[in-house]
Structure 1
Amino acid sequence: MLTLLAFIVTLGLLVTVHEYGHYWVAKRCGIKVQTFSIGFGKPLLTWQRGETTWQLAMLPLGGYVKMLDEREAPVAPFEQHRAFNQQHPWKKIAVVLAGPMANLILACALYAGLNGYGFDAMRAVAGQVAVDSPAARAGIRSGDEIVRVGEHDIETWDQLFIALIDEAGGDTPIEMKVRSPGEGERTVALPPVAVSQISPQLPTSLGLLVAPLSSRIAQVTPGSAAARAGLRAGDTIVALDGLRLKDWSALQAEIARRGGQAVELTVKRDGQEVALTATPEVATVDGRKVGRLGVVPSLDQTRWAAQRVHLQYGPVEAIGQGLSKAWTYARITLVMFGRMLVGAAPLDQISGPVTIAVYAGESARAGIGVYIDYLALISLSLAVLNLLPIPLLDGGHLMYHTAELLTGRPVPARLEAIGQRIGLALLLGLMALALFNDFNRFLPG
């Protein structure tokens, strides 16, 4: 029920804001708005407000604002000056842009409000550094706190992500300042990050993982080297061949380079230390041979709690941080969509209403701050995707009206109709792909 309620609130609010943007600017431009609809299909609830019919319709996956237009129905002579098709191209462009801009403004306002109200975040601490990753080769270790990236001061994991995005695209190493517990600050250099590497998983792809893992075993893979050696869930591996281990990173690094070699593991079990012998299996990862034990580590709850921090900004800084975050995520959305178009990113990253519903529910359960952050992200995505130059979307209409502004005459009706059919086919295909990805992601089997 919470998932359904969160989904309805999310979609209802974002669609209402988007369509109200179109409505508000249309009214200011002197255009008559006949219908304001949340949802498509048969109206379930209608009411009259002035000259506009407001309604809630059966299919809640969108909405529309219907304006007076001679291309759709005859218009009385005394109202022709209020028809959309009679307006100057600049007014048409303003009306079309108003919907995405309303979603963009909402996202910025939500981010700014959350920054001012205060929220829990994760400090920019490398909970885990993947073995032989760019971060590991640069000298970053598990437990290091990233305090500066290029010209950006870093406090949280989100700020680290944004700074990495801003530094991407150059051909020089990315300079970072890190602070190790008890050792002070030092400077390291990550290799250059190409624009093609930008994705929501960028820190992970560089080997920086937020979750601190311990050497306590949460799960043993059946039939693995660990299972054959007698390891059990709940065991803590404290040493390997006599070498005392600080955390999971140290264990993982040792196991990775000892594939096929017998090793002696010292395991803490029920308060006692037990010696076991295991031979890590050899696996191929990115063309390299590495050792695999076959265990799943537990989260280090003490370190995880220490990485959490509560942040709150003053009014000016809250707005600045909100604008910066909105701009960065808008860039990520555009870059990822462009990469998918050219085949440089997998199409399974496209999500549909099921994914939105599931994550809306999960974010609502995680707390109001997490839900607001998610709401802002979806509003931002809606703004950016609606501006793509695809007929039927706002971006397609913007393309038509810009052509009219440049040529001095409207796009021919026949050409616009062809574009609408192409746009419909593209959107139906995109929706089918999104639903296919949703079902693959969440349905068992």
Structure 2
Amino acid sequence: MTLLAFIVAIAVLVVFHELGHYWVARLCNVKVLRFSLGFGKAIYVKRFAGGETEWALSVIPFGGYVKMLDEREGEVPPHELARAFNRQPVLRRMAIVVAGPIANLLLAIVLYWALFIYGVPGIKPILGEVPSATPAATAQLRAQETIISINGQATPSWQEVRWILLDLVLQKRQADIELRTVEGRSVLRMLDMSVLTPGDLDGDFLQKIGLQPYQPPIYPIIDKLTEGGAAQRAGLQTQDRVLRVNGQAIPRWAVFVEAVRSHPGSVLNIDIERAGSLLTLSVTPDTATEGGKQIGRIGAAPLIDRKAFEAMLTEVHYPPRVALGEAVRKTWETSVVSLKMMWKMVTGEVSLKNLSGPITIADYAGQSAQIGLGAYLGFLALISISLGVLNLLPIPLLDGGHLLYYTVELIKGSPVSEKVWEAGQKVGIALLVTMMAFAIYNDISRLILG
């Protein structure tokens, strides 16, 4: 599933990107010789009747290209010189080059538009426990309060809360949070996030702030037992309620789990309530290894109030016209935040650990596909924006690098020299190889360290 989802994602994003170049080239009457999905040797080539473009599938699937008629890449017949890319006015060349990234951004808008009409599943923006000595605690935010808006922007889901706060953290701005209290009153709190460091963005920065979504309590009532597990061997049964472990009160299932995990191979005296009677059982957790550390397990699962958890879910959707506006806004804001993150990586304000490579992207593709079509389309929209923004960076070899050359040509009235072009290509290769090396290193680190 992961590999298939990744291949489909790459194919969709590359095809739309290259179609942007292709369509605008055709509009500018530039002859397109080949449209290829993938690089390297072509394994399938098709030319339609009456067509002038070869449509190819190549052996290396990570990318694609549109090859246009160009005197710099081969001899051009005199009668076709007017259709050569290099003979076009500079503004036409710029339009053809920028069309690829624009196509990716338009694809994201279309995907978000469809999602907002259909409905985007999310978690209600209700606060969980607020740890002491955190910015959220200082701002007097309380558990079970609902976040209505941040700096005037509505927050219909927890995902929107996270995204808005990330943007504010990058801008080092204060968050003015409108909340609805448990009693139903509307209050305004000021959240200072200036205490965050660049390293805090490597993980879940919301935890550093002191924010987490509310989760309905899971009480220590056993619902399922593993056949032959330590719990079953000791006589525990379904519907047993755990009261104490070695004299320690157990108000929630998480406390029980921690008590078991921290005592591998050690006897635990567990006080339970069963059908109105109090019993004490001795359980010896089996020893297991997790992350190089020994932990205890007894093979028991809790009774979960599924209705309570389902009540925490929401669905964000809009009428078609409003959905289009929201899709444009989402694409714009995501693009801006992506650029800010990239710039802060360059300046050292944000760690390069945030770079992700093909392994992480493939993993996210597989996870989103397993969740459902909506999650996968949302993933495609996000990666499409990233691809569009990345290609607009003024790095030689990328579309943005070509735009930089053409901008210089537009200003000085003549193309940049071949020496400058070749030097730029070498710099571009070095930068892209370095970025990819960091991204793959981060991917491997995540696989090894989790």
1:389-408 superposed matches below 5 A:
389-408=394-413
Counterpart mapping for 1:297-336 below 5 A: 303-336=308-341
The equivalent of 1:422 in structure 2 is: 427
Cα gap change, 1:172/1:414 in structure 2, threshold over 3 Å: closer, same or farther?
closer
Deviations for 1:170-206, whole angstroms, at most 9, x for unmatched residues? 7874322212323533222212559987969453442
Q: Is the 8 A contact 2:157 2:316 kept in 1?
A: no
Q: In 2, distance between residues paired with 1:440 and 1:347?
A: 12
Q: 1:72 to 1:52 in 2, by over 3 A?
A: same
Offset of residue 130 of structure 1: 3.3
Q: Distance in 2 between matches of 1:194 and 1:33?
A: 54
**1:440 CA displacement:** 1.9
Equivalence for 1:179: 180
Q: How does 1:198-237 map to 2 (within 5 A)?
A: 201-210=204-213, 212=215, 214=217
- Distance across 2 between alignment mates of 1:269 and 1:44: 67
State the Cα distance separating 1:217 from its structure 2 match: 7.7
Q: Equivalences for 1:125-144 in 2 at 5 Å?
A: 125-144=126-145
- Checking the alignment, whether the CA contact within 8 Å between 1:211 and 1:304 is kept in structure 2 is no
- Alpha-carbon distance in structure 2 between the residues aligned to 1:371 and 1:56: 24
Could you say which residue in structure 2 is the equivalent of 1:285? none
1:149 aligns with 2:150: yes
* Partner SS, residue 72 of structure 2: coil
Report the Cα offset of residue 315 of structure 1.
Answer: 0.8
1:253-272 matches, within 5 Å, as: 269-270=272-273
Report the CA distance between 1:144 and its aligned residue. 1.3
What displacement does 1:242 show? 12
* Closer/same/farther in 2, CA of residues 31 and 360 from structure 1, 3 Å limit: same
* CA distance 1:135–1:71, shift in 2 (3 Å): same
Deviation of the 1:373 alpha carbon: 0.5
For 1:399 and 1:268, the matched residues in 2 are separated by 72
CA contact (8 A) 2:338 2:389 kept: yes
Task: Answer with 10-19 or 77-86: which moved more.
Answer: 77-86
Partners of 2:243 and 2:10 lie apart in 1 by: 48
Instruction: Verify: 1:377 aligned to 2:378, yes or no.
Output: no
The CA deviation at 1:300 is 8.2
**Residues 246/443 of structure 1: CA separation in 2 closer, same or farther (3 Å cut):** closer
Distance in 1 separating the partners of 2:141 and 2:217: 18
Q: Secondary structure at the match of 1:209?
A: coil
CA distance change for structure 1 residues 381 and 270 in 2, over 3 Å: closer, same or farther?
farther
What's the offset of the Cα at 1:96? 0.8
Q: Are residues 1:388 and 2:387 paired?
A: no
Percent of residue pairs identical: 39
Tell me if structure 2 keeps the 8 A contact 1:167–1:193.
no
Contact 1:162 1:328 in 2 (8 A): no
Of stretches 100-109 and 200-209 in structure 1, the one that deviates more from structure 2 is 200-209
Offset at residue 72 of structure 1 (A): 1.2
TM superposition score normalised by structure 2: 0.78
CA-based RMSD of the aligned residues comes to 3.6
| Distance change >3 Å, CA 84–CA 155, structure 1 → 2 | same
Amino acid at match of 1:48: R
Partners of 2:150 and 2:175 within 8 A in 1:
yes
2:236 aligned residue: none
Aligned residue type for 1:40: F
1:360 aligns with 2:365: yes
Change (3 A) 1:164 1:300: farther
Write the letter of the residue equivalent to 1:318. A
1:168, distance to aligned residue in structure 2 (A): 5.5
Are the counterparts in 2 of residues 128 and 213 from structure 1 also a CA contact under 8 Å? no
| Structure 2 CA distance for aligned equivalents of residues 274 and 129 of structure 1 | 35
Kept in 1, the 8 Å contact 2:150–2:164? The answer is yes
> 1:340 and 1:303, CA in 2 relative to 1: closer, same or farther beyond 3 A?
farther
For 2:153 and 2:220, locate their aligned partners in 1 and report how far apart those are by CA, in whole Å.
37
Counterpart check, 1:14 vs 2:13? yes
Give the conservation status (yes or no) of the 8 Å contact 2:242–2:273: no
C-alpha displacement of 1:411:
0.8
TM-score by length of 1: 0.79
Contact 2:39 / 2:59 at 8 angstroms: preserved in 1? yes
1:62-211 equivalences under 5 Å are: 62-164=63-165, 173-191=174-192, 201-210=204-213
- What is the identity, as a one-letter code, of the residue corresponding to 1:132? A
Deviation per CA, 1:366-386, whole angstroms, max 9, x where unpaired? 011111100100000000011
Secondary structure, aligned partner of 1:345: coil
Is the CA contact 1:213–1:247 (under 8 Å) kept in the aligned structure 2?
A: no
SS in 2 for 1:186: strand
Note closer, same or farther for the CA distance 1:139–1:409 as it changes in structure 2 (3 Å cut).
same
Q: Distance in 2 between matches of 1:140 and 1:167?
A: 18
Partner of 1:45: 44
Take 2:40 and 2:136, find their aligned partners in 1: how far apart are those partners? 52
Q: CA deviation at 1:21?
A: 0.3
- Report the residue type matching 1:339 in the other structure: K
1:235 to 1:381, Cα distance in 2 relative to 1, 3 A: farther
Alignment-mate amino acid for residue 379 of structure 2: Y
Report how far residue 415 of structure 1 moved.
0.7
Secondary structure of the residue aligned to 2:384 is helix
Change (3 A) 1:167 1:316: farther
Aligned residues: 398
C-alpha displacement of 1:143: 1.5
Quote the Cα distance in structure 2 between the aligned partners of 1:72 and 1:301: 64
1:52 and 1:150, CA in 2 relative to 1: closer, same or farther beyond 3 A? same
Q: SS where residue 311 of structure 2 aligns?
A: helix
Cα separation, partners in 2 of 1:213 and 1:132, compared to 1, 3 Å: farther
Q: Please state whether the residue corresponding to 1:208 is helix, strand or coil.
A: coil
User: Structure 1 CA distance, aligned partners of 2:132 and 2:159?
Assistant: 23
SS in 2 for 1:129: coil
Structure 1: runs of 5+ lacking an equivalent: 219-233, 252-266, 276-293
CA distance in 2, matches of 1:414, 1:172: 44
Which amino acid counterpart does residue 21 of structure 1 have in structure 2? G
Distance 1:177 1:116, change over 3 A: same
